């Protein structure tokens, strides 16, 4: 299955690179503009479940790596496909996939909030978890959490007179 | 009933009633709440100690903060605490409300809960066993007996400071409305 899938993706998407690191794993690296198309193609191939959308901060390359993990209820359930796309760290964005998988919406909101990536076409990138404004999105690697804690929480004085 | 407690019932019936009717607000904060279902159900049956969970803060007088307090949760904790009727007792459960615990450098966790609301007692541990809850409850009885579980009085007395700390974290709190605060930190609000 994974060999046939690898060949199918490679012939359909010329600018993608596919590797199969394990028996049940297929990893696809694509440019960000073709992410919805690739996910749509995979959904038609039977990968009907978007397990999760994640993000990796790569400050050395100046890039954010979006990771989409798909699995299947109809195919072999052990087979997972990982789709990766790299976007620029500052001002980069990848088009929303909530038209393909509606459950991507909260994932994209979360990544927008915690990593600062933009999702054009999402339309509802409002705060999800956080209550405060952060200068740097808190999941980026250059966010100094110790310094932030000292400035924000440790600077609040204890209540005296108890 | 213990025979030598009869004098206590006669001299301070209010305190005794408060001691044996601790209605815990069933407010789930963080992971420590997983210890509360065994506490209130058959195995450790907290009702032997007069502790029962209640559904709404307006019926409760014991507030256990059971785990790490994220900033969003702290807002809900303040709202819940303000809705509870006096006398109300607050217990920090686990190491996270004490000083942040393993979230000591987290970007979104309030580290010292006693900077924002008054705490009457702490139960240390990560996480405390259900037995520790009962030890905490019996300690709280002693504190109530001696009049030392006075967090709600301290909250009124130092309301200006507590409110200042809350607003340092949240900016403007929409609710509860500000009580009249006198300048100087202490003495206001009562």
Looking at residue B187, its pLDDT comes to 45
Query: Is the pLDDT at B184 greater than 60, yes or no?
Result: no
> In chain A, helix, strand, coil percent, each to 5?
25, 25, 50
Placement of tokens 């009124």 in the chain:
B156
Is A14 a domain residue?
yes
Tokens of A118: 């933009």
Closest Cα in chain B to A146: B105
Q: What's the total number of domains in chain A?
A: 1
The contact set of A with B (CB < 8 A) is 129-132, 134, 138, 143, 145-146, 148-149, 152-162
d(CA A28, CA A10) in angstroms, rounded, equals: 9
Question: Whole-prediction pTM value?
Answer: 0.85
Residue A92 lies in a domain: yes
Residue B183's pLDDT band (boundaries 50, 70, 90)? low
Q: Do residue B115 and residue A161 have CB atoms under 8 angstroms apart?
A: no
* Count of Cβ atoms closer than 10 Å to residue B13 Cβ: 10
Q: Does B185 touch chain A (CB under 8 A)?
A: yes
Q: What pLDDT is stored for residue B119 in this prediction? A: 92
Contacts of B154 in chain A (CB under 8 A): 159, 162
Q: How many CB pairs under 8 A join A and B?
A: 65
Does B190 score more than 70 pLDDT? no
pLDDT of amino acid A9: 86
What ipTM did this prediction achieve?
Answer: 0.79
Count each helix (H run) and each strand (E run) in chain A, helices first: 4, 5
Nearest one of B15, B114, B111 to B63, comparing CA atoms? B114
Cβ neighbours of B36 (radius 10 Å): 21
Q: Domain range holding A81?
A: 2-152
Fold topology of B3-150: Rossmann fold (3.40.50)
Output phi, psi for B138, to 5 deg.
Answer: -70, -35
The answer to whether the Cβ–Cβ distance between B158 and A162 falls below 8 Å is: yes
Whether residue B185 is predicted with pLDDT greater than 70 in this model: the reply is: no
Residue A89 DSSP label: T
Is B72 at the interface with chain A, CB within 8 A? yes
**Of A156, A157, A159, which is closest to B169 when you measure between CB atoms?**
A156
CB B92 within 8 A of CB B113: yes
Answer yes or no: is pLDDT of B186 > 60: no
> What is the share, in percent, of chain B residues with pLDDT greater than 90?
31
Min CA distance, B119 vs chain A (Å)?
11
Rounded to a whole number of angstroms, the distance from the CA of A147 to the nearest CA of chain B is 9
Give the C-alpha separation, B64 to B33, whole Å: 9
At residue B132, does pLDDT exceed 60? Answer: yes
Residue-by-residue pLDDT tens, chain A, 162 positions: 678 888 888 888 888 888 888 888 889 999 999 999 999 999 998 899 999 999 999 999 999 999 999 998 887 888 889 999 999 988 888 999 989 999 999 999 999 999 989 999 988 888 888 888 888 899 999 999 899 999 888 888 888 876
Q: What gap in Å lies between CA B141 and CA A131, rounded to an integer?
A: 37
In a domain, A125, yes or no: yes
Residues B20-77 pLDDT 10s: 889 999 888 888 888 888 999 999 998 999 899 998 999 999 999 998 999 889 999 9
Residue B70, C-beta contacts closer than 8 angstroms, at least 6 positions apart: B108, B109, B110
B79 lies within 8 A of chain A by CB: no
Q: Which two tokens stand for residue B132?
A: 């520790």
> Are the C-beta atoms of B162 and A159 separated by less than 8 Å?
yes
Angle at the Cα of A105 from the Cα atoms of A102 and A106, rounded to 5 degrees: 130
Q: Shortest CA distance to B70 belongs to which of B60, B78, B62? A: B78
SS3 A85: strand
Report the alpha-carbon distance of residue A31 to residue A90 in Å, rounded. 17
- CATH for A146: 3.30.460.80
**Subunit contact B169:A152, Cβ cutoff 8 A:** yes
Cβ A160–B108 below 8 Å, yes or no?
no
Return the residue of A nearest to B115 by Cα. A158
**CA separation, residue A109 to residues A46, A103, B57, B180 (Å):** 26, 11, 32, 40
- The answer to whether A2 touches A22, Cβ cutoff 8 Å, is no
**Alpha-carbon distances of A27 from A5, A80, A105, B69, rounded to whole Å:** 11, 9, 22, 38
How does pLDDT run across B157-182, given as a tens digit for each residue? 888 899 989 988 888 887 787 777 65
Contacts of B157 in chain A (CB under 8 A): 161
Mean pLDDT of chain B: 87
């Amino acid at each position: 299955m994974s060999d046939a899938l690898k060949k199918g993706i490679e012939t359909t998407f010329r600018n993608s690179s596919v590797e199969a690191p394990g028996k049940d794993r297929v990893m696809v690296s694509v440019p960000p503009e073709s992410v919805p198309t690739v996910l749509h193609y995979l959904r038609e191939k039977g990968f009907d479940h978007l397990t999760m959308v994640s993000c990796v901060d790569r400050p050395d390359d100046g890039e954010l790596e979006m990771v989409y993990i798909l699995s299947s209820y109809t195919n072999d359930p052990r087979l997972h496909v990982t789709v990766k796309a790299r976007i620029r760290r500052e001002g980069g964005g990848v088009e929303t996939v909530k038209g393909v998988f509606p459950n991507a919406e909260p994932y994209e909101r979360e990544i927008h909030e915690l990593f600062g990536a933009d999702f054009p076409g999402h339309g509802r990138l409002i705060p999800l978890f956080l209550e405060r404004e952060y200068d740097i999105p808190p999941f980026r690697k250059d966010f100094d959490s110790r310094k932030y804690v000292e400035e924000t929480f440790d600077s609040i004085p204890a209540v005296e007179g108890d | 009933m213990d025979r030598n407690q009869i004098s206590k019932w006669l001299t301070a019936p209010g305190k005794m009633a408060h001691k044996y009717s601790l209605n815990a607000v069933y407010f789930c904060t963080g992971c420590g709440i997983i210890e509360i279902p065994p506490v209130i159900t058959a195995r450790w049956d907290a009702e032997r100690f007069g502790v029962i969970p209640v559904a709404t803060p307006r019926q409760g007088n014991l507030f256990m903060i059971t785990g790490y307090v994220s900033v969003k949760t702290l807002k809900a904790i303040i709202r819940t605490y303000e809705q509870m009727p006096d006398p109300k007792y607050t217990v920090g459960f686990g190491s996270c409300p004490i000083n942040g615990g393993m979230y000591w450098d987290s970007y979104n966790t309030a580290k010292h809960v006693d900077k924002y609301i008054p705490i009457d007692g702490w139960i240390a541990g990560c996480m405390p066993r259900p037995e520790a809850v009962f030890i905490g409850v019996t300690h709280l009885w002693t504190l109530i007996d001696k009049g030392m579980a006075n967090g709600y009085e301290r909250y009124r007395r130092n309301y200006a400071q507590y409110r200042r700390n809350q607003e340092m974290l949240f900016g403007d709190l929409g609710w509860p409305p500000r009580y009249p605060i006198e300048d100087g930190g202490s003495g206001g609000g009562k």
